[in-house]
Each structure stands twice: as C-alpha cells, then as structure tokens.
C-alpha cells in the first residue's frame, strides 16, 4: 500500500499540532482570566475585612451585597456569553464530524458490498453526462466502456489489491476531511 503518499505530515500532524497549540493558548488565557478574578476577589475580601473590623454591621451588609453582585455578574457572563459560544462551536464541529463520518461509512460499505456495480455506475453516469453535454464522441464512449470493463475485471481478478488501493483513497479522503475540519475549527476558535 502507498500510505506514504497520503501526506500525513500536512494533513494530520501539522493541523493537529496547530489545533492543540490554539487550545493551549485558549486555556492559558482562561487560566489568566481566572487568576486575575481570584486576585481581585482576594483584594476585595482584604479591604472588606479591614472595614468589617472597623464597622462590623455595615461592612457585613456591604460585603454580602458586593459578593452577591459579583456572583450574579459572573453567573450572567457564563450563562449568556461563555456557554452559548462553547455550545455552538462544539455542536457545529460535532455535527460536521458526524455527517462526514456517516457519509464516508455509507459510501465505503456500499463500495465494499458492490465494487463492480459502483465502478460501472460511476463510469456510466460520467459517460452519460459527457454524452449529454456533447463533449464526448462515440469513440470515446466505446473506449470508456472498455476501460470500465477492464476496471470491473480487475476488481474481480485482484480484489485485495484493488481494495487496498480503494482503502488508501478513502483514507486520503478522510485525511482531507480531517484537515478541513481542523482548519475550520481553528478559524472558529
């Protein structure tokens, strides 16, 4: 099999590294934001602690109100901003992956179940389309039908080698799809 011709470096390894780098950057940004929020909360508690020592009753009421307001703000930001963004991004990516997987699986299963029929149908539909548009002479139609017969014979005579070639082609298609998904994810993230 010609797996080395699949360009794994550019279609699998590099996009995955870029996606991981983007995720690490996003996590670092999130960590920095959370750290700053914790520092701010600590400063507020220190100030309120000093105030509470000086005026316990008034400070307790103010502390409760400030804490409640801060918690409500964080909750609203999370619910209104962060959660919808995360849900949308991952739902879209998941739907795309599921759609591509189902399409690839269905096509591959049909190909394995009916290799001669798939080849004949593909060549026949291409031939019909080209004849219908007038871009193909009858000589070429005959040549194309002969070639399709040869392909079908090859499938019947050397099914393992033909399936290996089909496997490499399908794997190449999946790698292209993975590359497209990761590229789309990098633009969304």
What residue ranges do the domains of the chain occupy? 8-113+158-188
Q: Which residues of the chain fall below pLDDT 50?
A: 1
| Residue 38, CA distances (Å) to 54, 79, 169 in order | 24, 19, 52
What is the per-residue pLDDT for 36? 95
What is the per-residue pLDDT for 31? 92
What is the per-residue pLDDT for 183? 80
What is the per-residue pLDDT for 20? 87
pLDDT single digits (tens) 43-78: 977 886 787 788 888 877 876 888 899 889 988 988
Q: How far apart are CA 116 and CA 94, in angstroms?
A: 34
Residue 179: closest CA among 21, 10, 4: 10
What is the per-residue pLDDT for 28? 92
Helices 138-157 & 115-132, crossing angle to 10 degrees? 170
What is the per-residue pLDDT for 145? 77
| Residue 189, CA distances (Å) to 15, 24, 92, 179 in order | 14, 11, 12, 15
Contact 3, 168 (CB under 8 A): yes
What are residue 134's phi and psi, to 5 degrees? 80, 15
């Amino acid at each position: 099999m010609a797996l080395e011709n699949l360009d794994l470096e550019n279609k699998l390894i590099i996009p995955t590294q870029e996606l991981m780098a983007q995720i690490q950057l996003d996590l670092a940004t999130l960590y920095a934001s959370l750290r700053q929020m914790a520092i701010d909360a600590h400063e507020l508690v220190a100030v309120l602690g000093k105030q509470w020592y000086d005026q316990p009753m008034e400070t307790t009421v103010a502390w409760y109100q400030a804490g409640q307001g801060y918690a409500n703000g964080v909750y609203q930001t999370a619910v209104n901003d962060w959660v919808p963004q995360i849900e949308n991004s991952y739902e879209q990516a998941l739907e795309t992956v599921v759609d591509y997987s189902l399409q690839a699986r269905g096509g591959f299963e049909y190909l394995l179940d009916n290799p001669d029929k798939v080849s004949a149908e593909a060549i026949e539909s291409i031939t019909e389309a080209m004849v219908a548009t007038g871009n193909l002479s009858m000589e070429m139609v005959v040549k194309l039908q002969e070639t399709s017969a040869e392909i079908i014979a090859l499938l019947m005579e050397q099914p393992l080698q033909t399936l290996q070639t089909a496997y490499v082609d399908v794997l190449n298609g999946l790698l292209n799809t993975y590359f497209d998904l990761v590229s789309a994810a990098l633009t969304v993230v």
